[in-house]
Chain A
């Protein structure tokens, strides 16, 4: 049995649990700063250190962020929700319980549309992934182990409580994902959404977005799920994809070889590009959840919900649909333009300034994107303003400059900004499109090249191209290419 044959006989069932760190200025239950660059144990207070007698007070911004994300995934916002205590002993958890949400999360029954791009054809297919629930909770601190990278085997451990109490949203997907690509795309879409909403920076490297994967495989056609394995420790989207692809192959091979799949937690090892077993799960952990008596239940009124709903920006899927249907862009361009909200807003501002959407899309996704990428810049820091890009496109459309001239002055615009109109005026780059002026230049070029004229007359080679080139050279590229071609054809025939 070949590997490919095996693969087509099995399907993977994948669900993601995502922890998203919110970008609120203060922690979820106290006033401490959430800044993660601070020296260890400087953003702490009796509340987040779990001192005796202190009480949590909910940061309302966290509830607002949870409800906004809930609305953005078309979830049901619970009119009545509550916090619970999740109990386990660990030195980075000061109270030895985490304030989280158990049976009444703030959001349930949401969904997220993902797009799958065919690498070759750039064709896009869409799939809706169910989101089981979304809830609020506090983050734990960080342990630094001496003498080992894990608690086991270390001589001693240091605890940094700066992260303790930083607000998190936990988002649990339905087991609707089937491939590594889908899972990575789902995670990216989620990140895109929290960035659009401005509630998180969604940075995977820095741990603001952490994804745990639950995965099992089963023979196609089988109804029961296979044994579920959890994978942790992936800090990029490609790592998610690769870890899943590795794990699918590992599980299929194990089953094919008659081995048992254990319910366990595995770690993705970036170095060796494989998953390794971390710990076997013996039944499910007993966290002894019970309702948090220090916090009253949460009641979100319809009116409050509507108020938050009104603050939502246009979301990626709505933007993509509008770009395709109203602005006539391809699905692919719409996807690329909406990936980053700042890019989308840049695009829209240029279009609103009167430029042709397709032309703006080309400039933004090609030359500008390349420039930003090469210089590691973001579009918000770009010197070329959207109005100036619209002006540049307008100059080309009107025939004031050629596309070539536009590309020539682009580097200056990208680096220093300013008005394209002024730059071409200052550099004398206005296109020569006056027929009389061009005729005179062409006639002079013909007169200067008698040998080439002979060749043209004898019908050898593409001599018209030669003359066009000479005209361009003489005018420094300013000659209107279309008109030049027309006139040269006519004048050569007459000469």
Chain B
């Protein structure tokens, strides 16, 4: 059952107060976060104040929404007015935005209780949350392992029950891959479905905000609250938002599922492969027809992505120049102010991507790199378009492996980049996708199944994810953090 609905019922029945719920969440953070380091900042006073408002509404007999009083973690690349927002970068240490992101504004109005800002790879660049400029987040299932990234803080926080739900952002898999590695539901909506206003840009044409939850229905409820057109984001889609929970059904009769064959092969762990194959069999049992699908350019996604995303990032991050806000290093002149500040304020991975992007866009290289990558992007999109003429939803593993050891890949960027092999093509095509828990390996580490939908195919994703969840028990397992 939806954990949000259960808590909501308790709140309106006044079995528990919103303040008590918030306090429980804060207490859990207090108890486990010195080991997990999911949160960069805990916003206890604001959380209690928001919870008190919800309690006042309940006491006054006013109707409250499903998210009212629900504790939520917010990835620290979402701007929160009056609350420090750092993107886990030293260059934004102490930065207080004078504006609220559209998604957090919507959540505030819905009565959701933000308990803190979660850790991430600096500027959302990474797949392990080890690139944070402040702290390394641990995987709740094995504290020596990474939670995935870049939204590792949000994924770990939800997995460890520090908050019921969380928001992340996904540029190349930054929601789905950590969801997979932490054993929770993580969803990246269709590009443009959720406003990016207030999301600190990494790669603007790929970034999307999405939900983390422990149940598919909860992810649907959270997406419902943040989706919709925003006049402050010119790339936001002006489309009606359906009631996603209406799409949830226990069976998959008549649903055509395609298996992305190109995702299976070199680099894929056997245990992950087995778990995913078992999950596919389960979908068939639920009434779906299964078809093999070929997306020939699927594996080219990673190469295209590591040209396009760094190119956009190199421009997006140019604004951190010490002139108006953020870190300003000691310098004797303008050029030194720029170089010293950026040398000191950015971490190694951010610098690497800025250099990659600057190079790819330079005169004489543009056609060979940026333009070519955009062509590949178009071809990948065409592969998906072709696939969706035959099937309703595509499946493949979310990540090729389960959680790896902290430090294992930090010196090998290419191997780190490969952990996003399955998720990246989806961002390039602007499609919605979701990771749902589908098993555990021998080390009791979670495995995720990736469902990929057609443009604005969120309802189908939720339907398939929900039916699968109802027929399995993976989501019932929780990491043991009692030690």
Contact = CB atoms under 8 A, between A and B. Distances in A.
A294 B334 contact: no
B234 A55 contact: yes
A286 interface: yes
A52 B92 contact: yes
Interface stretch (A85-93, A389-397, A411-419): A85-93
A87 B315 contact: yes
Contacts of B78: 53
Interface string B356-380: 0010011100100010000000000
B380 to A, nearest CB: 17
A13 B191 CA distance: 49
A137 to B, nearest CB: 15
A51 B311 contact: no
Contacts of B362: 286, 288
B196 interface: yes
Interface in A396-435: none
Given A52-B92, A53-B197, A54-B197, A290 B97 contact: no
Interface centre among A49, A50, A290 (most CB of B within 10 A): A290
Nearest to B203: A293
Nearest to B91: A52
Interface residues of B, number: 43
A474 B361 CA distance: 89
A295 interface: yes
Interface in B379-427: none
A95 B318 contact: yes
B204 interface: yes
B363 A52 contact: no
A294 B235 contact: yes
Contact of B319 (A55, A58, A96, A289): A96
A87 B318 contact: yes
A20 B120 CA distance: 44
B470 to A, nearest CB: 38
B358 A288 contact: yes
Interface in A3-49: 46, 49
B304 to A, nearest CB: 14
B332 to A, nearest CB: 11
Which of B232, B323, B325 has its CB near the most chain A CB atoms (within 10 A)? B323
Contact of A53 (B199, B231, B315, B370): B199
Contact of A294 (B101, B234, B314): B234
A296 interface: yes
Contacts of A151: 334
A468 B203 CA distance: 91
A487 B197 CA distance: 89
A96 B358 CA distance: 13
Interface string A284-300: 10101110011110000
Given A286-B362, A290-B311, A295-B234, A52 B319 contact: yes
Nearest to A92: B323
Given A54-B99, A95-B319, A286 B363 contact: yes
B417 to A, nearest CB: 21
B321 interface: yes
B226 to A, nearest CB: 15
Q: List the 8 shortest-distance A-B pairs measured between CB atoms, nearest first.
A: A96-B318, A293-B205, A293-B204, A288-B361, A52-B200, A53-B200, A286-B363, A50-B319
Interface of A: 46, 49-58, 85, 87, 89, 91, 94-97, 151, 157, 159, 284, 286, 288-290, 293-296
16 contacts: A46-B97, A46-B99, A52-B200, A53-B78, A53-B85, A53-B197, A54-B99, A55-B233, A57-B231, A85-B315, A87-B315, A89-B321, A91-B334, A94-B324, A286-B363, A288-B315
